[in-house]
Structure 1
Amino acid sequence: MAFQFVRVELFSRKGKEGRGTGFVFDEVARVPSASIHVQEPDTPIVVHGLAPDALRELHDERAAEARTEVKGGKQRVVRQDQNTLAGVVLSYPVTMDEYRAKPEVVARVLDWERRSVAWLRSQFGDRLVSVVRHEDESHPHLHAYVLPDDPAMTAAHLHPGFRAKAAAKAAGAQPGEDDKALSKRADAAYKSAMRAWLDDYHAKVAQPCGMTRLGPGKRRLTREQWHQEKRQAEALRDTLAKAEALKAKGDAFITTTKEKADRIAGEAAAARAEAVKATEAAQATIVAARAAEKVARQRAETARAASERAERDTRAAKRLSGLGGLLRGLWDGLRKSNVAARIRKAVESELEELRRQVAAAAERATATDAARRETEARVRNLRQNLSDTGRQLAEARQEIAVLRPESAPDSAQAPARR
């Protein structure tokens, strides 16, 4: 793996040395007259936003409508030599032969591409209108195009270096500073802003993809030192990839755990509600049983009294004279005894039903309590698993800290690959 390459340029419709916006759009679309440097031009691959033809149409339409305000509040069309387009070139340091031959290299290029597009969106937002990949030159690379969204369509605002330089000049000279010193400070602001821009790309994209910030020639490294730094960058890339995979696994586990915890909490709440309901039902059943027992005792007492009266009537009947009186007395006693027996049978049936209801309520309460204990055990297991995943993430962060190199010194950008 080698060092990073990213470059930003501004273009006007008139252009310099024949490289106006029209030529830029022809080149990215692989129009033959603008692709002489490519041996076998291939169709560009759109990875974000608009295709080249739609990009050209949108730019030309906005540029034709752009207006700038002059003295007296009048509006005029923008000049042909005003920059109206920003282009960013990003390259991945592998040959096309490696890219076509090794699936693992393709996977790394696609990961770099995904990170690059995300980084460009963080830099330019919705002003990033197109990103195209070329696979017909020496290295796989991206062309990104950004359109300004102000009424004058001022692309200079999109360039981090020019933006910082303009801000320094707009602030004016400091005490004791002449125009030359102000210009020098503005140039320093330009370099500082570009350095920060390149550092940000390295931190967000290049470093996770195993690229170094600078090449060996910029820092006068020996061949062995350069290979050692490349090995360290690749080791850091692999460690970061493992950390990202572990983080994704941890995030998925956390999401799943949260869903399970929510479900378990819902089940526990339902179990508690069922337990409360079962307890209330049991209490109500006990109250009803006590009331029924009281009624049963009253009925039993009534039956006992009826039985005693029947016995007394029977004895009285025996004392009656004559066979007819005796028979009538016996009949009345038997009738009252049958009434008492029916009362006792009904009372015993009601008591048995009440005993069954009390036993069922007690069984439901016991089952609910067991479910609650099982739910609490599952929650404890999930918390332990989450703790283990957090420990693994901490170990990965320590490994990354050991491999991560210190910030490299600044230098000029490398020559562009096209």
Structure 2
Amino acid sequence: MYQFVHVESYSRSSPKTAQHKNSKSGKSSSKSGGHCVKYIVDEATRADGAHPHVDAPAPPILHYGKPLDQLEVTCEAWASTMTDSRGHKLRKDALCLAAGIVSAPHDIEPEAWEKFRSDSIAWLKEKYGDALESVVEHTDESHPHLHFYVVPKPGQRFESIHQGRAAAAAEKGQGGKKGEQNQAYKAAMREFQDEFFDRVGIQHGFTRIGPGKRRLTREEWKLEQIQAAAAAKTIAVAEATVTTSKVESQAIKQQAVNDAKVFADKTLKKADQILKAAESKGFASGFNKGIESVEQLPWWKKVGLYLSGAVRERDKLKVELETTKGDSETWKEKAKRYFGINKQLDLELKEVKPKLLSAEEELSVTRHKAKQAALLREENDQLTRQLGDAEHKIGGLQGRVEALKSMVDEQESAQKAQPVARRYEHEEGLSR
């Protein structure tokens, strides 16, 4: 399972549709600016016609803040206190609302969802403070999720509630070009994801990012899930140990978070390295193409190296835990529990390695069979050509045989006819 938290920006009215010209093709197309506050509110409150993706709509559950029908008024009130860079009244299409979503996997247990929901709301309240207007839950879709809505306080600019736009504005103020502003925006939004992961995601065994965007193999993704689950269990053990002091408990929790972060960072770097290696070999579609071309990119060997690194990190952690046993009996118990979790990880790693070896053997057998099939196909094609030639020759010979047979039949008929003719001539002579 991996975390999903996302935030978007909206204005009081949708920007006008504009004509956008493609610089390469020269063709023009309409380009819309997106939805407005009213549309977002109608969708969230399940107003008629605003929820085509929901079969059986149910009203949202308000967990924090004001009812959603007050959101438009709040945005209007804020906009009335602000001016643009020229001192003019804000346009209707100026951004005024940050709306986001926090989602959990569809198969999450009810108790786990309640805890995750509570921790997520606590993080949102701490992050946005009084600017957090509302948090609601939808229960009529496949994945349990929260929607949150943030409006700047009067006199504060919109960038104060959106760290991505704040970073882009700061870069622009320093003379940065558009591309540099975009990079600053992306970096700030990655920090947004990191904050949620550190404070909420890792506490519940979620990974930082899913496998698809990082082009991870199934084994790498499985290994990261195991690491995240182990970290979550360790944190739970530390919180449940009433005999542990707050300082010790926090140290264990922080160690688990740090281990998981290091593991996630390694996964990101590993994915980048594999992608660059694939692109350097000239694969048109990057790593995905490289996976298909097993001759050029043996992915099972890369995964094997990756698992070896994970084992070394685990062994290092075991040594560090072993050195703390002499501190106190309580610490020893915690170390044993932590060691048990890593022992489980060790067993799961051992299950993965034979599968990789088996996959390598199957690939080798498949390649050998493919080569044999190619040779057999070539021999079959050659025999087919020879058979065609033979049939052609046989047809010619049959024609010649028929011609000779016809000549023989004609000669035999001629020979038979000669004695008869002579007898007739003799009989005619006698009668004379």
| TM-score bucket of the superposed structures, by smaller chain | 0.5 to 0.7
Residue by residue over 1:76-131, the C-alpha shift from the partner in whole angstroms, topping out at 9 and shown as x without a partner, is 532101001111111112x2xx45xxxxx111111111221122122211111111
The equivalent position to 1:81 in structure 2, one of 73, 93, 108, is 93
Q: Please state whether the residue corresponding to 1:129 is helix, strand or coil.
A: strand
Change in Cα spacing, 1:392 to 1:33, as seen in structure 2 (3 Å) is same
Residue 137, structure 1, aligned to residue 132, structure 2: no
Match in the other structure for 1:119: 123
| Aligned-pair Cα RMSD in Å | 3.3
Q: Distance in 2 between matches of 1:110 and 1:158?
A: 26
Q: Which structure has the bigger radius of gyration?
A: 1
Q: Secondary structure at the match of 1:77?
A: coil
Provide closer, same or farther for how the CA distance between residues 155 and 396 of structure 1 changes in structure 2, counting only shifts above 3 A. farther
Q: Pick closer, same or farther for the CA change 1:21–1:149 going to 2, 3 Å.
A: same
Residue 187 (structure 1) aligns with: 182
Instruction: Tell whether the 8 Å contact from 2:205 to 2:232 is kept in structure 1 after alignment.
Output: yes
Higher RCO (Cα < 8 Å, 6 or more apart): 1
| Residue 56 to residue 223, structure 1, CA distance change in 2 (3 Å) | same
Q: Which amino acid aligns with 2:130?
A: D
Residue in 1 that maps onto 2:387: none
Structure (1/2) with the larger helix percentage: 1
Residue number in structure 2 paired with 1:46: 62
Identify unmatched segments of 5+ residues in structure 2.
Answer: 16-31, 250-327, 346-432
1:326 maps to: none
Partner of 1:311: none
Map of 1:226-237 to 2, 5 A cutoff?
226-237=221-232
Distance in 2 of aligned mates of 1:183 and 1:124? 27
Cα distance change of structure 1 residues 110 and 165 upon mapping to structure 2, 3 Å threshold: same
Q: Secondary structure at the match of 2:7?
A: strand
What corresponds to 1:158 in structure 2?
161
- Shift in Å at residue 221 of structure 1? 2.1
Counterpart of 2:174 (choices 165, 171, 175) is: 171
What is the Cα deviation at residue 36 of structure 1? 1.4
Q: Give the TM-score normalised by the residue count of structure 1.
A: 0.53
1:202 aligns with 2:197: yes
SS of aligned partner of 1:203 = helix
**C-alpha distance in structure 2 between counterparts of 1:170 and 1:120, whole Å:** 28
Displacement of 1:172 in angstroms is: 2.4
SS of 2:241's equivalent?
helix
Residues 8-407 of structure 1: matches in 2 within 5 Å? Answer: 8-16=7-15, 17=32, 19-63=35-79, 65-68=80-83, 76-93=88-105, 95=106, 98=107, 105-151=109-155, 154-172=157-175, 182-246=177-241, 250=245
Deviation at 1:31, TM superposition (A): 0.9
Amino acid at match of 2:83: T
Instruction: Give how far 1:214 is off.
Output: 1.4
Say which SS state the counterpart of residue 130 (structure 1) adopts: strand
Alignment TM-score, normalising by the size of structure 2: 0.52
Residue 81 of structure 2 aligns with an amino acid whose one-letter code is A
1:225: how far off?
2.7
Equivalent residue, structure 2, for 1:176: none
Query: Shift of residue 165 of structure 1?
Result: 1.0
> Quick check: 1:68–1:77 contact (8 Å CA) kept in 2?
yes
**Unaligned ranges ≥5, structure 1:** 100-104, 174-181, 255-386, 405-418
Q: 1:232 to 1:69 in 2, by over 3 A?
A: closer
Q: Are the aligned partners of 1:232 and 1:403 in contact in 2 as well (CA < 8 Å)?
A: no
Q: Distance in 2 between matches of 1:184 and 1:57?
A: 35
Task: Kindly provide the CA deviation profile for residues 188-207 of structure 1, in whole angstroms up to 9, marking residues without a partner as x.
Answer: 22221111111111111111
SS in 2 for 1:32: coil
Distance 1:248 1:119 in 2: 27
Deviation at 1:37, TM superposition (A): 1.2
Shift of 1:396: 7.0
Q: 1:248 to 1:146 in 2, by over 3 A?
A: farther
Letter in 1 for 2:13: K
Partners of 2:344 and 2:173 in 1: CA distance = 42
- The 1:245/1:35 distance shift into structure 2, 3 A limit, reads same
AA of the residue aligned to 2:230: A
Distance in 2 of aligned mates of 1:171 and 1:142 = 36
Q: Hey, what's the Cα distance between the residues in 2 that align with 1:3 and 1:111?
A: 16
The 3-state SS of whatever aligns with 2:71 is: helix
Letter in 2 for 1:90: V
Percent identity over the alignment?
37
Alpha-carbon deviation of 1:391? 6.5
Residue 248 of structure 1, CA deviation: 8.9
> Displacement of 1:133 after TM fit?
0.9
SS at match of 1:68: coil
* Residue identity opposite 2:200 in structure 1: V
Quick check: 2:131–2:161 contact (8 Å CA) kept in 1? no
Structure 1 counterpart of 2:369: none
Q: Residues 13 and 20 of structure 1 are in contact (CA less than 8 Å); yes or no, is this contact kept in structure 2?
A: yes
Q: Over residues 278-316 of structure 1, what are the superposed CA-to-partner deviations in whole Å (9 max), with x where a residue is unaligned?
A: xxxxxxxxxxxxxxxxxxxxxxxxxxxxxxxxxxxxxxx
Q: Give the distance between the partners of 1:5 and 1:58, measured in 2 at CA.
A: 27
Give, as a single letter, the amino acid of the residue that structure 2 aligns with 1:142: L
Tell me the alpha carbon deviations over residues 336-386 of structure 1, each in whole angstroms, 9 at most, x when there is no partner. Answer: xxxxxxxxxxxxxxxxxxxxxxxxxxxxxxxxxxxxxxxxxxxxxxxxxxx
